[in-house]
Structure 1
Amino acid sequence: MVRVDGREVQVTGRLLAPWTRRTNDILRLVFATLFLTVVVTSSLITRRDWVGLERSISDIVGVLTPTQSNLVYIAYGVAILALPFVILIGLIATRQVKLLAAYAAAAVIAGVLLSITPRGLAAPRWHFDLDDRLNTVFSQFLDDPRWIAMLAAVLTVSGPWAPRRYRRWWWGLLLAFVPIHLVVSAVVPARSLLGLSVGWFVGALVVLVVGTPALEVPLAGAVRALGRRGVDVTALHVERPAGPGPLVLSATRGESTAAAVVELYGPNQRSGGALRQIWQYVRLRNDETAPFQASMRRAVEHRALMAIAIHDLDLANTTTIAVAGLDRGWTLYAHTAPRGTPLSEDDPVDVPWKSLRELHDHVISHGDLRAKEITLDDGRARFGGFGNAEYGALDTRLQSDIAQLLVTTTSLYGPRPAVTAAIEAFGRDTVLTASGRLTKTAMPQRIRNSVVDIKTMVTTARDEVKRQTGADQIATETITRFNRNQLIQLVLLVALVYVAYPFISTVPAFFNELRTANYWWALLGLAISGVTFFGASAALWACTSEQVNYKNLTIMQVANTFAATTTPAGVGGLALSTRFLQKSGLSTVRATAAVALQQAVQVITHVTLLIFFSAVAGASANLRHFVPSLTVLYLIGGAALGVMGTFMLVPKTRRWLGTSVRPRLKEVGHDLRELAREPKRLALIVLGCASTTLGAALALWVSVEAFGGDVAFVTVTVVTMIGGTLASAAPTPGGVGAVEAALIGGLAAFGVPAAVAVPSVLLYRVLTCWIPVFIGWFVMRWLTNHDLI
């Protein structure tokens, strides 16, 4: 029950949300971490400067006599000593059991952290011997960083529970030790500041782990706000507790149906909304973001005003009743219950499209066209949920509405009826333009979550739009300033430069060695590196049954070098090949099968050549250099068996092997058997795969010859294949670092001097890796601009 102005209002349902981790908790931990970093850094680097600054400030503010200073020290010490116990008594009195555990944990962790010494834990030596000077008794707490840390930790943990005015007094009292130290002892102890930063960090971490308590809901203020709008509430029922969204209640008069739906937005939701707005502004282009809302109150007001505007067009399924600011930072938005029934597959598909067209005719965008936000009443579609609506919307926002409703209606009615209704309502050209936003990225998160398999819905809607409009292709609209692939590529490029830095540092010495190199051998190595692209293209071309353009496929292989080198294990190259084949007209399944077939033949060819050349090398090539010790072999075997056993015993991984891996292996096996029945095609694929392996070995042999080395081609082939195989397991992009180390070590193992092996391998990598990677980036841009990938 809630008593409001002499009458009682019944409240049912779970009013307070469970403890949760709010945006404020995350921000608090971030700022505490930054503060701790600043304190530690300043203590280590600029401590002398800070001491000088503190002394100069103390000369200005230090106006107290010694007697007055002692009195201030004693009074402040009593307050600091009593503060944690006052808070503890308050927690016990209000029966905050869970908060008591967090309180104790924060105090213990903060105290223990600052008690760690090189010789173990140092216990505090606090005493209350009042025979000593009083200021000495309290100084042991004021100057001990453990006590300051414990105070800061318990204040941070107790803060979300306490009213704001109490929190301000608590923190003001604790932080007062800085000016008091300047007045009394001239210098603020660095260890006290360290204790403050550590305590704040520990408290913020404990709050994030445990969660913060739900705040008191100002129901009395909500009832009064509704009463001023003529809605005399007699009962409130909680429909949904507060959480990521508002606290939703239904207000009734006596036994009648709900008179209003009341949404209460808490103060902690303000920071989350601001962060979402900032993230959208950073990620999306300017014309994709709605104007900033200065506060949660302004956001709620905007929603209410848009509901009024759309209601005037008879297109809203709710009517705004009241908007009001309440105590403790809460905001109320009350409206009538939605009219009509939710949109379903049994309703006519053209009705929501006609209503959306009417909305757009008045230059209003909705921004949240989920099925649950659309109801049908009297044969007319009406909209609800206007938090993302915009008056005087740009064309981009209107196009986004069309794309959203295409996805929603496609999920309900299928692609053909949905696209037909869209074209009838908006016209062919408008729907075709808006279809550029039929991508997973362009769909808001709320739309993606409202349909099953958003990727399939988007794809089928795009295909149907192309079929009904006769368009060959739909240009994808770029709505973001950056995407996930660009971020990943940037990180990988940074990692590539980082890993390659040791070799970059040898560039001056390498160029000095180039003066003695035979440039004709180097040019031959560059030509051999180029031939390998034709071989790889021939293999993939044959795997596709010659269904793609061989010229473009060869150009793609150059870009493939960049994609494979900038991603671990070369997965980027496989993805690029698959994408190119899809753009060339192959289905996703057929393109994936062709790339998998090429990789399977490549592995088989590589292993066969390795066995063959190892046998040919015989006694002339001491392969013991590449054979690990017996202990290492046992460890590798044991690890392999352990991984196999884990995959077989864990149900989830065993299911993944059976449902994902096994069918792919069966497909590859089937393709290999079919390939064996076509000798010419098989021969072309094998020759293409062999040319890449032998071409790499020949390029390394030519590089060694360029620096006057004397080594057999068979030996270099074994070194290239074994070294490349070992380095392929390296997690670095393109095996950078691992490949160089393996090849240099392999050549040295066969007697090639380091003065020849090091520049030879670097020249080999320049010819086969760095030059193609540099060119490959421009080639990839060219392929993108020509819509080939």
Structure 2
Amino acid sequence: MRVDGREIPVTGKLLQPLIRRTSDIVRVVLAILGVAVVIAGSLITRPEWLALESSVAKIIDFLSPDQQTLVYVIYGMLILALPFAIFIELVLRRQWKLLFGYAAAGMLAVLALSITGTGISAPKWHMPVPDRFDTFLSQFLDDPRWIAMLAAMLTVSSPWLPVRPRRWMWFLLLMFAPIHLVVSSVVPARAMLGLSVGWLVGAVIVWLVGTPALEVPLDAAVRVLAGRGYTVRSFRVDRPAGRGPLLLGTEVDGPEHEIVVELYGKNQRSFGAIRQLWRWITFRSSETAPLHGSMHRAVEHRALLGIAIGEQGMADSRQVVVAGLNRGWVLYAHTVPRGTSISSLSAQVLPGVWRSLVTLHHNQISLGDMQSDYVRVANGDTLFGGFAAAEFGAAQAQRQTDIAQLLVTTTSLYGKHEAVSAAIEALGKDEVVYAARRLTKSAMSIGIRKSVPQWSKVISTAREEIRRQTGHDRIGSEQITRFSRNQIIQLVLLVALVYVAYPFFSQVPTFFSQLRHLNWWWALAGLVVSGLTYVGAAAALGACADGLVRVRDLLLEQLANTFVATTTPAGVGGLALSVRFLQKAGMSTLRATAAVAMQQSMQVLTHLVLLVIFSVIAGTSTNLAHIVPDSTVLYLVAGIGVGLIGLFMFVPKLRHWVKHSVRPQVKEVLGELVDLAKNPKRFAIIVAGCGAITLGQALALWTSVEAFGGGTDFVAVTIVTMIGGTLASAAPTPGGVGAVEAALIGGLAAFGVPAEVAVPAVLLYRVLTCWIPVAVGWPVMRWLSKKDMI
């Protein structure tokens, strides 16, 4: 490279890799919206736009017909020459590879607008000159394929074109709409469609291919450094620009023999801004720094923090210069970092490292990124580097994050005992325990998660060692983000509840119209019976857990279980909540899973036994064919079951999962069943609790039917509840909403209950057994979560 008459060698790969900028993605989204707006405008508001354009054309109609023709001819010739001008510009700049993208964009844009219902329609551009030259030019000026081709070619070529020619070309292309108004004509809707489609095609190509390297202004960097007294002798590319800056080792004549030059390109600006915005949205205000308005401001902030830390004698480098260069680049130069990284030193440096961090915090400076490469030791002094996430006037939360990050880094390097002991000696037990609440993923910077092997395991190890050395039974995690994981889960469940409850809301008017015939005493009895089912479920789960959990807590868990089970398909959320509840109560994961599985197994067995008993009681006069599916459906279900068994037998991964994950749990459940058979009292409690659930639901439905005038006996209602509810439980809808109502109404109709009684009775039954418990279960679940019981 030759600058001001001097030859400066550059070694290494200077070319930037292909990257997909945020602006490329935004361009694609805007192009899609543009196509949608043009199509919607053509279909919906096109008559209004035609009238508006005609009015505007009359207002600005100040040219004579000959002048209008002249303007049209001149503009048409420019539009006709525009693609050739772009081609010549690319050839002169020797962008040979770009010519393929240039040609592909044009052909795809023309092809996209040539597809019709009968096939591909070729463009009808007639080269022979007709009687009027403006008629010949209108072939291209008004043809959407020509406009689309120009827009696509210009979009693909724009990143490589000089700024001023690029702006003039876009101005010329977009002028076709005002030109039509000047010559007193209406802008063709198909031309606007061509413009939007061409822009979309070009935007997609740029997004898929990526933005290639742009010219790096090394000559400007040489002149800026010379103005600061550093004459550049050579550049060495240590890291090409990509997600991070272009890193150059630079030999200079000046106060130092070598400095580090970092160049930030404009392609990185949008990514940094989006990341800042994302942190501002997802993290609490006390956890985030003020947003930087530009890349220059972000680099300037880093340099200023380096100066502030350097005044304390703890910076590993000295800032040389920060300057904005041409083409959107920003220069940041500093001396080569001094000292040795703590990753290459023994644990004897830990006390000095912690004392230096305390000094920085005393001066209200936080570092924000405590990875090992940014912590160095030189002549017994601890030095810090990086400074990209550092803050002056840092809040207490940011200082505590520094402590948590340094605990993770030192635990990974020196082991848990040495790292935690050094921290406690320098800070005290209370301060370390307080900072340990930030041993979470959210508090760890991206650099630490990349530099620390198995960082999540290291976090758990450090937390456990702090708990052991300080004597604390439990160290909770502090909420750093605006929304915790539990809050997000609860929000999702609430949205799912609204979704699954919508079909019920549509039937509310009919239900309320029937309330004038309701016997409220029967409804109250149904509510009491519904409540007793939760007592039975709690007793059964408590017996399966071998009495390790209080019945009161189990009853609250069953209420919360109803809310979760109603908002998740097939009630899987309820099972997971029960397992989580038992884990929090002190049971192991395997033991808790086995207890829940045993309760579900006993529930199924009890349900089937009661179904057989009530079917026998009902006698042969009961017509069950109205509820049971026909043989075709049963054969289909059996075939699917056999196929799944074969799939799990012959697929190695599935077979391995069954052997190592499912089999131990099944073995545990079978062992619990064997032990249960040896304990009659416990067995009786489980059976009674499971039976109370099934019979209680049947009794609640029967009281609901009686509340609207009756029409059948308890045995028939029980069979309807067990068969219809079982079939509907296989429905994929959360809580079986829709399927349960349909199955129960059909079952009651099969036993002769009229529709004017069956429909409101089933809706009342669902209110008593589902929606009221769901309304109660939501605050109960939040209370259990607050008490850390789930």
Question: Is the CA contact (8 Å cut-off) linking 2:628 and 2:723 kept in structure 1?
Answer: no
Aligned AA (1:111):
V
Partner of 1:347 in structure 2? 347
Stretch moving more, 653-662 or 153-162 = 653-662
Partner of 1:763 in structure 2? 764
Stretch moving more, 104-113 or 763-772 = 104-113
| Deviation, structure 1 residue 649 | 6.1
Partner of 2:581 in structure 1? 580
| Deviation, structure 1 residue 605 | 4.2
Aligned AA (1:329):
G
Distance 1:263 1:639 in 2: 62
Aligned AA (2:553):
N
Shift in alpha-carbon separation, 1:781–1:40, aligned structure 2, 3 A: same
Distance 1:280 1:97 in 2: 41
Question: Is the CA contact (8 Å cut-off) linking 2:110 and 2:145 kept in structure 1?
Answer: yes
Stretch moving more, 639-648 or 717-726 = 639-648
The 5-angstrom pairing of residues 530-545 of structure 1 reads 530-545=531-546
Partner of 1:106 in structure 2? 105
1:373-395 per-residue CA deviation (whole Å, 9 max, x = no partner) reads 22233334322211110011111
Distance 2:592 2:351 in 1: 38
Stretch moving more, 653-662 or 160-169 = 653-662
Shift in alpha-carbon separation, 1:24–1:575, aligned structure 2, 3 A: same
Distance 1:3 1:710 in 2: 100
Partner of 2:332 in structure 1? 333
Answer yes or no: is 1:259 the counterpart of 2:293: no
Distance 2:205 2:646 in 1: 39
| Deviation, structure 1 residue 140 | 1.9
Distance 1:322 1:160 in 2: 29
Counterpart secondary structure, 1:515? helix
Counterpart secondary structure, 2:213? coil
Aligned AA (2:179):
I
Question: Is the CA contact (8 Å cut-off) linking 2:437 and 2:476 kept in structure 1?
Answer: yes
| Deviation, structure 1 residue 607 | 4.9
Counterpart secondary structure, 2:437? helix
Counterpart secondary structure, 1:125? coil
Shift in alpha-carbon separation, 1:391–1:178, aligned structure 2, 3 A: same
Distance 2:78 2:399 in 1: 61
Answer yes or no: is 1:505 the counterpart of 2:506: yes
Distance 1:637 1:105 in 2: 54
Partner of 1:156 in structure 2? 155
| Deviation, structure 1 residue 213 | 1.4
Answer yes or no: is 1:553 the counterpart of 2:554: yes
Shift in alpha-carbon separation, 1:128–1:560, aligned structure 2, 3 A: same
The 5-angstrom pairing of residues 363-442 of structure 1 reads 363-442=364-443
Stretch moving more, 13-22 or 229-238 = 229-238
Question: Is the CA contact (8 Å cut-off) linking 2:562 and 2:777 kept in structure 1?
Answer: yes
Counterpart secondary structure, 2:8? strand
Distance 1:488 1:252 in 2: 55
Aligned AA (1:280):
R
Partner of 2:745 in structure 1? 744
Distance 2:380 2:336 in 1: 18
Distance 1:747 1:99 in 2: 72
Distance 2:613 2:747 in 1: 18
Aligned AA (1:129):
P
Distance 2:646 2:99 in 1: 46
Distance 1:713 1:258 in 2: 96
Shift in alpha-carbon separation, 1:39–1:786, aligned structure 2, 3 A: same
Distance 1:161 1:666 in 2: 67
Shift in alpha-carbon separation, 1:605–1:447, aligned structure 2, 3 A: farther
Moved over 6 A (4+): none
Distance 1:603 1:97 in 2: 72
Question: Is the CA contact (8 Å cut-off) linking 1:500 and 1:737 kept in structure 2?
Answer: no
| Deviation, structure 1 residue 90 | 4.2
Aligned AA (1:482):
F
Question: Is the CA contact (8 Å cut-off) linking 1:161 and 1:212 kept in structure 2?
Answer: no
| Deviation, structure 1 residue 299 | 0.4
Answer yes or no: is 1:185 the counterpart of 2:184: yes
Counterpart secondary structure, 1:318? coil
Distance 1:464 1:727 in 2: 51
| Deviation, structure 1 residue 339 | 2.6
Question: Is the CA contact (8 Å cut-off) linking 1:694 and 1:717 kept in structure 2?
Answer: yes
1:549-577 per-residue CA deviation (whole Å, 9 max, x = no partner) reads 22122112212212222233334333433
| Deviation, structure 1 residue 4 | 1.9
Stretch moving more, 82-91 or 307-316 = 82-91
| Deviation, structure 1 residue 179 | 0.9
| Deviation, structure 1 residue 407 | 2.6
Shift in alpha-carbon separation, 1:782–1:492, aligned structure 2, 3 A: closer
| Deviation, structure 1 residue 39 | 2.4
Distance 1:437 1:486 in 2: 18
| Deviation, structure 1 residue 293 | 0.9
The 5-angstrom pairing of residues 672-751 of structure 1 reads 672-751=673-752
Shift in alpha-carbon separation, 1:716–1:179, aligned structure 2, 3 A: same
Question: Is the CA contact (8 Å cut-off) linking 1:102 and 1:210 kept in structure 2?
Answer: no
Q: Which runs of 5+ in 1 are unaligned?
A: none
Distance 1:677 1:325 in 2: 82
Distance 2:652 2:228 in 1: 60
Please give the TM-score of this superposition, normalised by the length of structure 1.
0.92
Question: Is the CA contact (8 Å cut-off) linking 1:258 and 1:337 kept in structure 2?
Answer: no
Size of the aligned set, in residue pairs, is: 787
Answer yes or no: is 1:173 the counterpart of 2:206: no
Distance 1:326 1:667 in 2: 69
Distance 2:560 2:447 in 1: 36
Aligned AA (1:699):
A
Aligned AA (1:385):
G
Distance 1:166 1:654 in 2: 65
Shift in alpha-carbon separation, 1:433–1:642, aligned structure 2, 3 A: same
Please give the TM-score of this superposition, normalised by the length of structure 2.
0.92
| Deviation, structure 1 residue 632 | 4.6
| Deviation, structure 1 residue 91 | 4.2
Distance 1:670 1:238 in 2: 66
1:104-157 per-residue CA deviation (whole Å, 9 max, x = no partner) reads 443333333333444443332221221331111111222222222222222222
The 5-angstrom pairing of residues 287-302 of structure 1 reads 287-302=286-301
Distance 1:119 1:598 in 2: 63
Query: Percent of pairs identical after alignment?
Result: 61
Aligned AA (2:173):
L
Distance 1:695 1:450 in 2: 58
Answer yes or no: is 1:563 the counterpart of 2:564: yes
Stretch moving more, 197-206 or 19-28 = 197-206
Distance 1:168 1:375 in 2: 49
1:647-691 per-residue CA deviation (whole Å, 9 max, x = no partner) reads 666665555555544444444444444444444334333433333
Distance 1:106 1:749 in 2: 65
Stretch moving more, 317-326 or 770-779 = 317-326
Q: Which runs of 5+ in 2 are unaligned?
A: none
Counterpart secondary structure, 2:57? helix
Question: Is the CA contact (8 Å cut-off) linking 2:56 and 2:181 kept in structure 1?
Answer: yes
Answer yes or no: is 1:203 the counterpart of 2:202: yes
Answer yes or no: is 1:212 the counterpart of 2:211: yes
Aligned AA (1:705):
E
Counterpart secondary structure, 1:233? strand
Shift in alpha-carbon separation, 1:392–1:499, aligned structure 2, 3 A: same
Distance 1:146 1:641 in 2: 57
Distance 1:627 1:486 in 2: 42
Partner of 1:124 in structure 2? 123
| Deviation, structure 1 residue 646 | 5.8
Aligned AA (1:697):
A
1:750-783 per-residue CA deviation (whole Å, 9 max, x = no partner) reads 4433222221221111111111111111222333
Distance 2:684 2:430 in 1: 50
Aligned AA (1:461):
A
Answer yes or no: is 1:61 the counterpart of 2:57: no
Shift in alpha-carbon separation, 1:658–1:330, aligned structure 2, 3 A: farther
Question: Is the CA contact (8 Å cut-off) linking 1:13 and 1:237 kept in structure 2?
Answer: yes
Distance 2:465 2:378 in 1: 29
1:563-611 per-residue CA deviation (whole Å, 9 max, x = no partner) reads 2222333343334333433433444554444334434444454455556
Counterpart secondary structure, 1:397? helix
Distance 2:597 2:7 in 1: 72
